[in-house]
Amino acid sequence: MSRALACAAGLGLLALVGCAQAPKPLYYWDTFPKQQYSTLLREGGSADEQIQLLEAQAENARAAHAALPPGFRAHLGMLYLGAGNPQRARELWTAEKTAFPESAAYMDRLLQRLDPPAQAGKTGSPT
Amino acid sequence: MKHFLRAATAAAALLMLGGCATPPPAYDYSAFQAARPATLLVMPPLNESPDIKATPAMWSHATLPLSEAGYYVLPVTLVNETLRQNGVDTAADAHGIALDKLRDYFGADAAVYITVKRYGTSYAVISSQTLVQAHARIVDLRTGTLLWQGIAQASSAEQQQQAQGGLVGLLVAAVVHQIIGTATDAAYNYGGIASNRLLGAPRVNGVLPGPRSPQHGKVAATP
Give the DSSP per-residue string, chain A: -HHHHHHHHHHHHHHHHHH--PPPPSB--BTHHHHHHHHHHT----HHHHHHHHHHHHHHHHHTT-BPPTTHHHHHHHHHHHTT-HHHHHHHHHHHHHH-GGGHHHHHHHHHHHS-HHHHHHHHS--
Q: What is the pLDDT of residue A79?
A: 97
Q: Which of residues 64-123 of A touch B (CB under 8 A)?
A: 69-71, 74-75, 78, 96, 100, 102-106, 109-110
Q: What is the pLDDT of residue B186?
A: 85
Predicted confidence (pLDDT) at residue A17 exceeds the cutoff of 50:
no
Question: How far apart are the CA of B125 and the nearest CA of chain A, in angstroms?
Answer: 31
Q: Decide: B113 and B40 in contact? Cβ < 8 Å.
A: no
Option in B78, B170, B177 nearest A74 (CB) = B78
A30: closest chain B residue by CA: B176
Q: What is the mean pLDDT of residues A15-23?
A: 52
Which value does ipTM take for this structure?
Answer: 0.80
Q: What is the pLDDT of residue B48?
A: 97
Question: How far apart are the CA of A85 and the nearest CA of chain B, in angstroms?
Answer: 16
Q: What is the pLDDT of residue B178?
A: 42
**A-B C-beta contacts closer than 8 Å:** 131
pLDDT over 90 for what percent of chain A?
66
> Could you give the C-alpha distances from A20 to A16, A48, B11, B167, in angstroms and in order?
5, 41, 16, 7
Instruction: Name the band, by pLDDT with cuts 50, 70 and 90, for residue A115.
Output: confident
Over residues A46-58, the pLDDT tens digits come to 889 999 999 999 9
Enumerate the residues of chain A whose CB falls inside 8 A of the CB of residue B55: 40
The predicted model scores a pTM of: 0.80
- The contacts of residue B107 (CB under 8 Å, 6+ apart) are A102, A103, A104, A105, A106, B39
| DSSP 8-state class, residue B49 | S
Task: Please indicate whether, in this complex, the C-beta atoms of A100 and B177 are within 8 angstroms of each other.
Answer: no
Predicted confidence (pLDDT) at residue A21 exceeds the cutoff of 80:
no
Q: What is the pLDDT of residue A22?
A: 62
Predicted confidence (pLDDT) at residue A119 exceeds the cutoff of 70:
no
Range B136-167 burial, b when 16+ CB lie within 10 A, else e:
bbbbbbeeeeebbebebbbebebeeeebbbbb
Q: What is the pLDDT of residue B130?
A: 87
Tens-binned pLDDT, residue by residue, of chain B (223 aa): 455 555 555 555 544 444 555 667 889 999 999 999 999 999 999 999 999 999 999 999 999 999 999 999 999 999 999 999 999 999 999 999 999 999 999 999 999 999 999 998 876 655 678 899 999 999 999 999 999 999 999 998 875 444 445 555 555 554 444 444 454 578 999 999 999 999 999 999 999 999 999 999 888 776 5
Option in B68, B74, B174 nearest A26 (CB) = B68
